Amino acid sequence: MRVLIADDEPLARTRLAAMLRECEGVEVVASVGDGEAALAACAQQRPDLLLLDIAMPGLDGIGVARRLALLQDPPQLVFCTAYEAHALAAYELRAADYLLKPVRSERLHEALARAQALRRRAPGAAAMLPAQAHGAPLRVPLDEILYLSADDKYVSVHRAAGEALTELSLKAIEEAFPGRFVRVHRGCLVPVERLLGLRRDADGTTRALVAGSDAEPEISRRNLAAVRRLLRG
């Protein structure tokens, strides 16, 4: 199992690495000190498991987990933290385990076994968008999304099963799923496979026809040329 360690405390990273060296079949592929570095190392090293601290400067561990949840095949997560308060959020993000510092060797072995079992159980999972509906967290398959619209605070996820909300920005979603969405307006993304065509109102407004939805999001002048090129292609 290829393991990445992310913790802002050098001594904690060193201790975890030493414990992992005693575990059969485990390779530490990188050790980093902040959330952005963890994301970069995940992209470069493609670890099977990320041992992730929560309280880190800049992007914290929960933020890292939410970003990784966007990937089609994210690493398993085991949080290693000094605080019990984040356990619920960690398990809502489907962490394999939640270890309190100082991490004990037997608990680390349990976490590794659990992460390995979960990874074998769910290979090649469909790409998901983390969201919430009626206050409950959920993961929305990209194939279920009709379109996404943004207001000042949240992005609404429109789907046949009902509307959900995500804290991710439209820009972050575009970057996480390149080529999957087309921006028709500053505040709206449409999945490429659901873009059927265009309709022009009497007042000159151009709207997108979306498969599976009666909604017809407005297409801004700035984005119209790109949408037309996509449809021609």
**pLDDT at 203 > cutoff 90:** yes
- What is the distance between the alpha carbons of residues 97 and 92, in angstroms, rounded to a whole number? 11
**pLDDT at 32 > cutoff 80:** yes
- Start-end ranges of CATH 3.40.50.2300 in the chain? 2-121
- What is the distance between the alpha carbons of residues 191 and 181, in angstroms, rounded to a whole number? 4
**pLDDT at 124 > cutoff 60:** no
**pLDDT at 106 > cutoff 70:** yes
- Start-end ranges of CATH 2.40.50.1020 in the chain? 128-232
| Number of C-beta neighbours around residue 203 at 10 A | 5
- What is the distance between the alpha carbons of residues 96 and 60, in angstroms, rounded to a whole number? 18
Q: Which pLDDT score is estimated for 125?
A: 54
The percentage of residues in the chain with a pLDDT greater than 70, rounded to a whole number, is 94
**pLDDT at 117 > cutoff 90:** no
H or E stretch at 219: strand 218-219
Q: What's CA 35's distance to the chain center, in Å?
A: 14
Q: Which pLDDT score is estimated for 92?
A: 72
CATH superfamily of 2-121: Response regulator (3.40.50.2300)
CATH number of 128-232: 2.40.50.1020
The answer to whether the beta carbons of residues 131 and 142 sit under 8 Å apart is no
pLDDT digits (tens, 9 = 90+) for 77-105: 999 988 777 676 766 777 888 899 999 99
